[in-house]
A and B are shown apart, each in its own frame.
Chain A
Amino acid sequence: MVEGIQSVPQVASALVQARILFLIIHVLGVGCFGYIMARRLAPLFRAERDLRFDRPWERLGKVGKFWLGQWRHPRYRGAGIMHILVFAGFILLATRAFALVLGLADSVAVPESVGHIYDVVKDYATTIVFLCMAVAVFRRLVLKPPRYAVPTRYGKGHPADAVFLLALIALLMVGDSLFAASKVAFQAQLGQREDFLAVLSLPWALKHVLLSASLPALQEIHFGGFLLHDLTFFFLLCYRPFGIQFHVETSLFSVFFAKLDRGTLKPVRWGVPDDQLEQVKSFGVKTFENFTWKHMLDFYSCADCGRCSDNCPANAVGRPLSPRFLTIKARDYAFRHYPMFGKATNGQALIGNLYAEDEIWSCTTCGACEEECPLLVEYIDKIVDLRRGMVDDGNVPQSLQKPLKSLESRGNPYGKMEKKKADWVRNKEFEPTCKVKILDGKNGADTLYFVDSITSYDDRMQSIGRATVRILDHLGVNFGILGGAEKDSGHEVRRFGEETLFMALRDDNVEAIKESGVQRIVTADPHAYNALKHDYKDIPPVEHISQVIAREVKAGKLKFEPTDNGSVYTYHDPCYLGRHNQVYDDPRDVLDAIPGMKRVEMKRCRDRSFCCGGGGLMLFYEPKEEQRIGVRRVEMAAEAGANVIVTACPFCMVNIEDAIKVAGLEGKMTAIDLAELVDQQIAREAPKESETAVLVGG
């Protein structure tokens, strides 16, 4: 007479082989996993150091938000929700899995209410994960979202592998469900009290199927289900580190150790201060081992989801850069050169073998990839490090050598003379309307307007400078400019890998800023803003002009004339104001304060803003592309129904105005800088009759 379905330990105790079997499975499984992990960790021990153990509470916060909270996932609604469900299911079921493995399930007493809730939840979790797997397979094989596609130059895709992994997870759920269902079917047939199975869940459904099975069969299925789950679990455990599923293990760490400060760059070597850099033999990343351990961890953590490349402006126009493959290629390199068995082979040059030069120079450092990645994989630091390596080797495109040389000899990429840097304020028509102080020792002020190179020297961008100083003047700010003493902020110099030249520019600027005695800095150039805020140290706090204007508007100190020309405006978020520094609302608040303003948002706005094409040295680089990045952006503005693009960055202005011409939209679309628009719309008192100066409208 059978009393009850025998539990696994009972069966096991009856069959000594079974006990040994499971012992072997577990020991082998864990042992293999340990070995595999040790091999996978091997290159990290040869990597460069990376200081990521600071600010642990902030890091835990990120883990809560991005790992546990899956914060980034819903940005792609369908796949995101699925992943959240699967992830939640895994977390919930993991507790159960551990209990089963350790044989604790029957012996641990759990308060009944909790136990009941858990019973319901676990069954639905199992079911939802299973269904998600089915949907996922359908997406992979039938829907085939374009971002998963592998361009031929990167090799072949692995759809079979993806489906295999999805199937294995489904199998895990099935094994678990069979294990539970068979027991309940057994109990049902014998009229015993049935364990709880949530209605319409997978195990519930299987129980109904199994109701007609014989009791010995059920015993076998019960045992078999456990075995299946056990084997699949350990197989997956050991298989995951060989592909994109490795992110299951590494994601917690890639998020915990993620970069905390936007807009910053990693130093050439962590722990080596600037004045000791001469002793560093080689700058930048030239071989795989030059990456830091966190970067290597990133390579492992990539889930190959393609969201980064899907948002990359360079990738969108056919430049040879795809962030996703930057990572996948490096990961495959690591797998190849640090194999499971045999010696590690290392030291191969990355540029020319793994990466093409153009691949690395194509990046505009817009940060869209980093903003999108659910695993917080970093890209900009890696690209800058690779560029540092190329610069160190003298391997710089000819088109960039000239502006770099000019930056070195004249402090600006145009080769214009230092003494002409302030000529834009001495313009014949402008000077009488607005006197601008040059902070040259004789004059002082409490605010510095940091103009930077393009606004100082470019005929078109000078108008942004003039609009900015007119605004500052109107607000009664006591400000001045550095004139010839101001060198290029060096923002792109640094991001193009010329660290030494950057430091020289920075040091000169810091000295000039300190000597001027200013208490705060204002700039209309987001690249300068980012540089002064993040790349420079020990200087007064810096703001972008949009922040200054927004504050004054909110305080009621700035009033605007209405705009009534019937134009539809859209605001383009510059990468270094928006995404990198999260100033999204101030410019919009300013625009919305203009009476009669009709403003629309482009689909890609705020942190999803689409780069204009890049600034600084990127304007000199000659990429191979199918279309200009700026043209894409202008098309987006047209799609949104706008005919005026407002931006807050001189480089965006260059690219967008250029793109308007190239796209053939001249006359139908115009661009204006926020400062220019504000200057144009400020409600000023009419000049007194004795004044001869005329305020030039924008």
Chain B
Amino acid sequence: MEILVCARRVPDTSENEIQINPAGNDIERDDLVYSINEWDNYAVEEALQIVARVGGSVTVVTVGGQDDEEILRREMAMGATHGVLIADDAFAGSDARGIATILKAFVQKGRYDLILTGVQADDGGAQVGGMLAAMLDYPFASLVNGIEVLDAKKLKVTREIAGGNREVSEIDLPCVLSIQTGINEPRYVGMRGIRQVASVPIPTPSAAELGIDPATVGHAAAKVKRVDYFVPSLGKGAEMLEGSREENIDKVIELLAAKGGLK
């Protein structure tokens, strides 16, 4: 099975302190540590496990610039066969639809049985996978936390739905799935593995090579644009207790009693 995983390089939320820059138009990026979007990493691991079961290969693709190559190398160190960086100045400022347009062009240049993305990144968009599927007219399932290959034409997928329940469906190949965290336990990628793939060539197709009309992507074509970053004025929020720990505990017990929280 030929599997394509669409991945993104993002600031690692848990290892950074996200602060707005003085101009207010972006976050402070100087000291940020970047890594592959956590959801996409689960997707790559899932792809590798599927291929280990049924054969085939895994390609990881990202839309971006030189800096984004590092996540491709990391996933290749993990076991992906191919890494592709789609880069072109025309792509700058693309919204999610623009990214999906770019990826669609790439998918159509190859032959992939299964396309995986992560459910979302920390920006909570959760959109590229669904858009890509619709553009390609492939069936789609989001929040996937279980995949079983039924045969060369069909998968059984489990989706995460409310209350911890799981929705089981059958889906035709080729299809697009967005993968939820916790579906597997991603293997470790050590520094040595990354060094070993340091000089593997990574193709970098441009808009022209993929037959993408620049008018359909990029900042001008984007219908959704981020204007700025801000931290909302804290408004009401919680009543913060400022006393000593003992005083705070006493106050909490008082409030609990009032609210009926003490038996």
Q: Does A32 contact B (CB under 8 A)?
A: no
Cβ-defined contact, B14 with A415, below 8 A: yes
Do A409 and B192 contact each other (CB < 8 Å), given the known contacts A394-B187, A417-B31? no
> How far, in angstroms, from A406 to B16 measured CA to CA in the complex?
11
Per-residue 0/1 for B215-226: is the Cβ within 8 Å of any A Cβ (1 yes, 0 no)?
000000000000
Residue in chain A with minimal CB distance to B17 = A417
Interfacial chain B residues near A394, Cβ < 8 Å: 78-79, 187-190, 193
B252 close to A (CB within 8 Å): no
Report the interface size for chain B: residues with CB under 8 A from the other chain.
Answer: 21
Specify which chain B residues have a CB less than 8 angstroms from the CB of A499 in the assembled complex: 192
Give, as a whole number of angstroms, the nearest-CB distance from B68 to chain A. Answer: 16
Q: Report yes or no: B15 in contact with A391, Cβ–Cβ below 8 A.
A: no
Q: A504 vs B195: C-alpha distance in the bound complex, in angstroms?
A: 12
Does A410 touch B at the CB level, under 8 Å? yes
- In chain B, positions 29-71 with a C-beta closer than 8 Å to chain A are 31, 33, 35
Taking a contact as CB atoms under 8 Å apart, the answer to whether A409 and B35 are in contact is yes
The docked-state distance in angstroms from the alpha carbon of A395 to that of B195 is 18
Task: Indicate if B242 sits at the interface (CB-CB under 8 A).
Answer: no
Mark the stretch among A10-18, A89-97, A145-153, A396-404 that contacts chain B: A396-404
* Total A-B residue contacts, Cβ distance less than 8 Å: 57
Question: With A391-B190, A392-B190, A394-B78 in contact, do A500 and B195 touch (Cβ < 8 Å)?
Answer: yes
Query: In the complex, which residues 147-201 of chain B have their Cβ closer than 8 Å to any Cβ of chain A?
Result: 185-193, 195-196
Inter-subunit contact B195/A278 (CB<8 Å): yes
B39 CB to closest chain A CB (Å) equals 15
Query: Nearest-CB distance from A496 to chain B (Å)?
Result: 11
Q: 1/0 per position for A394-430, CB-CB distance to B under 8 A?
A: 1110101110111011100001011100000000000
Binary B-proximity of A266-300 (CB < 8 A = 1, otherwise 0): 00000000000010000100000000000000000
- By a CB distance below 8 angstroms, the chain B residues around A405 are 15, 35
Q: Which residues of B contact A392 (CB under 8 A)?
A: 190, 192-193
Which of B79, B187, B190: most chain A Cβ within 10 A? B190
Task: Kindly state the separation between the CA atoms of A419 and B19 in the bound complex, as whole angstroms.
Answer: 15
Interface residues of chain A: helix, strand, loop or mixed (majority): helix
A525 in contact (CB, < 8 A)? no
Query: Quick check: A409 and B188 within 8 Å, CB to CB?
Result: no
13 contacts across the A-B interface (CB closer than 8 A): A391-B188, A394-B79, A394-B187, A394-B188, A394-B193, A395-B187, A409-B15, A410-B15, A415-B12, A415-B14, A417-B17, A418-B31, A500-B190
Instruction: Return B188 CB to nearest CB of chain A, in Å.
Output: 3
Chain B residues near A501: list those with CB within 8 A.
Answer: 190-191
Query: A359 in the interface, Cβ–Cβ < 8 Å?
Result: no
* B residues in contact with A406, CB < 8 Å: 15
- Residues of the B chain whose Cβ atoms lie less than 8 Å from the Cβ of A415: 12, 14-15, 33
Residue-by-residue, is A496-518 near B (CB-CB < 8 Å gives 1, otherwise 0)? 00111100100000000000000
- Which 4 A-B residue pairs are closest in the complex by CB-CB distance? A394-B187, A396-B188, A415-B15, A500-B192
Residues of A contacting B185 with CB < 8 Å?
Answer: 398
The CA of A393 and the CA of B193, in the complex, are separated in Å by: 9
* Minimum Cβ distance to chain B for residue A356 (Å): 16
Which B residues touch A396, using CB under 8 A? 187-188
Bound form: Cα–Cα A401–B189 in Å: 9
Docked complex Cα distance between A419 and B17 (Å): 12
12 new A-B contacts, CB < 8 A, other than A394-B78, A394-B188, A406-B15, are: A398-B186, A400-B188, A401-B188, A404-B188, A404-B190, A405-B15, A409-B15, A410-B33, A415-B15, A417-B31, A500-B191, A504-B191
Binary flags per residue of B1-32, CB closer than 8 Å to A gives 1, else 0: 00000000000101111000000000000010
Q: Indicate if the CB atoms of A408 and B31 lie closer than 8 Å.
A: no
CB distance from B177 to the nearest CB of A (A): 22
Q: How far is the CB of B40 from chain A (nearest CB, A)?
A: 15
Q: Mark A468-505, 1 if CB is under 8 A from B, else 0.
A: 00000000000000000000000000000011110010
- B33 contact set on A, CB distance < 8 A: 409-410, 415
Contact A395 B15 (CB under 8 A): no
Residue of B nearest to A402 (CB): B14
Residues of the A chain whose Cβ atoms lie less than 8 Å from the Cβ of B35 = 405, 409
* Chain B residues near A393 (CB-CB < 8 A): 187
| Chain A residues within an 8 Å CB radius of B188 | 391, 394-396, 400-401, 404
**Chain A residue, CB-CB nearest to B31:** A417
Name the distance in Å between B126's Cβ and chain A's nearest Cβ. 24
Once bound together, how far apart are the Cα atoms of A475 and B174, in whole Å?
A: 73
**Are the CB atoms of B196 and A278 closer together than 8 Å?**
yes
Question: B187 — which chain A residues lie within 8 A by C-beta?
Answer: 393-396
Report the minimum CB–CB distance from B51 to chain A (whole Å).
15
